[in-house]
Structure 1
Amino acid sequence: MKNIYITDLDHTFLRTDLSVSDYTKKIWNSYAPHSILSIATARTYKKTAKFLQGVEVNAPMILLDGALIATMDKKIIATKFISQDVADTIIEEGERLGIYPFVLSLVDDALHESFSYSTTLNSYQSEIIKRYVDDDYTQAFTNLRASQNNFKLVYMAEEMLLEALELNLRMLFGDELKYILAPEAYMGCYFLTILHKNADKSHGIKSVSEAMGFDLNKLTVFGDNYNDIGMFELANTSVAVANAQEDVKKRADVVLTRSNDEDGVAEYLENLSSV
């Protein structure tokens, strides 16, 4: 039975400049002939595929925090959506507090995605949008509303403001939704991600396991942030990079001495193969 290695992208596998070093590619790819390799990320399919050019991925990917499971060749394995009515209510609740989300949705079965946002942006969102200026699937609206099939809604703001929004949403929807409130590692703010209640990386790994028929006892995962904790609890071995959040490090079986910018994942794998 093959070993399985699944890694988070941002602040774990990707460097801060969103690149993958040649060294990391070489070590990671060397595992492909005898291992199952995949990704678990909050990113969309399109961004993930762009970042992973030259990187071997031989199993379905866990995308959008587990709301989408899909292969590199665009075969959709599973989806978890927030309905249009619920998503519109979430937008209205944020509007009461003067904030608007990014809304990530599925356009069609060919895996075309949409990234919708309000023309009213705070400074954190404005900085993020600069990274998407060349993407043809982003669209700004003066009156933002959800689509039919919504993967997730993401707010960026100060912690207290997002705590207030989360409290309001929990009063309306309770456990019908999943709420992930976490710090943004490099921008000095927080983000609140709202998903289907079963959209997370641990449920995503279970879907991939069913599709591939692998043994979770052979699973090693890598991560840095709160949305990685679910897969840490599921895996046989959980590995946190040196720059991971402190609470995440406490949940890990292994804490690396190297960060994402120092090829921590690749160094771990290289040392593992030499044992």
Structure 2
Amino acid sequence: MIWSLLPLLPLGLVAGLLSGLLGIGGGLIFSPLLLLLGLTPHQALATSTLAIVPTTLGGSIAHVRSGRLAWPGAVAIIAGAALSAGLFSRLGQGLAGWQLMGLQTLLYALLTGLIRPRSPLEQGMPESRPLELALSMALVGVLAGVAAGLLGVGGGLVMVPVMVGVLRMPVHAAIRYSTLAVLASACSASLAFLADGRANPLIGLVLGGTAAVAAQWSASRLERVREERLVWMLRAITLVLAVDSGRRALGLWLEAQGSTLQKPGSSS
């Protein structure tokens, strides 16, 4: 099994680079890749969550070392993400594969329109007070945990657009907070996925370990990238993922309809 994964390691490096640079977990690379390996949607999403843990750990280490995090907000978003991911980790079990993919499609389409660069006036706005920041971050963390538990994604593609588009936070700061929260939510959800046997530990750790190296490298260079470029990268990624998830959802739905028609006693 390990040898069969070696050709896929370069994609793990790509996932790590995107994780450290954009505050996402790497699930956008891992999930489609695991589906191509033959895993079911439920197995792919669970194993993707497991791979996100070492990936975001690498980026989190770099962001903490930068000294640019406000810890009241960081602790709040971590707590919100971890608690909600654990609570909602079994929510997706009752959904069909095409339903999971369909929900991902709707989510990515919404986020594509949500995130946008801040105006010059917004860039000059004062920072939120510690208590206000903590409450806002806790709510954002809860959203990330729901995304991790229901869809098996780390939640970074949810949190960064929400923090930038709704809270009007600088994108560099949103990416740092997101990386920490994705790590927390992925850890929490992975425990449940491992317990119920949905996640493949070997595949998850091999891909995630490779991505962790690249994530730490790119996270340490985040400040070198302009805000507008980061925003448009996120919009491009969510748009591509919306199209890809929609395609997969349609294929799984057609397959399910075909299976239903082939059952004994069904109408032709």
The alignment's TM-score, normalised by the length of structure 2, stands at: 0.27
Could you say which structure has the higher helix fraction? 2
TM-score with structure 1 setting the length? 0.26
Which structure exhibits the higher relative contact order, with contacts defined as CA atoms closer than 8 Å and separated by 6 or more residues?
A: 2
